[in-house]
Amino acid sequence: MQTFAPAAGWQSGEDVFEGAIIARPNRRGGKRKPRPAGPKTDEAPKQSMIEMLGTVKQVYPSTLFGVELENGHTVLAHIAGRLRRHHIKLLLGDRVELEISPYDLTKGRIVYRYRAGEARRTSAF
């Protein structure tokens, strides 16, 4: 069996590695170092969503709807999470407010259902 010759300052003996300290990451739950603030320079800024009004013309499975916009175009729209959470039901002929991505003008998200006779919301437009 080979014997280990400890470096200067170590006590000699067979128990050299028994109390050795192993390097570990800090696990005290301290705060992480903050990332530098500021926008990323290599990415283009996101374009904002297009908000439009429309009428539900078709109901598809899986909470998809065919919505005819005020300008005559038809888009495929799904329900926003807030409408799902509050169990807002949509029927044929309901007036709705949509958000349409500027990248794909054929798909949208329904964000508000107008009640019968309700005027247009002023904060959205």
Task: List the chain pLDDT tens, one digit each, 125 residues.
Answer: 565 555 555 555 544 556 666 666 656 666 677 777 766 667 777 788 889 999 999 999 988 999 999 999 999 999 998 989 999 999 999 999 999 999 999 999 999 998 877 777 765 54
CATH number at residue 96: 2.40.50.140
Give me the number of domains the chain comprises: 1
Cα–Cα separations (whole angstroms), residue 31 to 28, 36, 79: 9, 15, 38
Domain span including residue 83:
54-113
- Residue indicated by tokens 């028994």: 18
C-alpha distances in Å from residue 95, one per residue of 50, 59, 116: 17, 14, 8
Whether 99 is covered by a domain: the verdict is yes
pTM: 0.60
In a domain, 1, yes or no: no
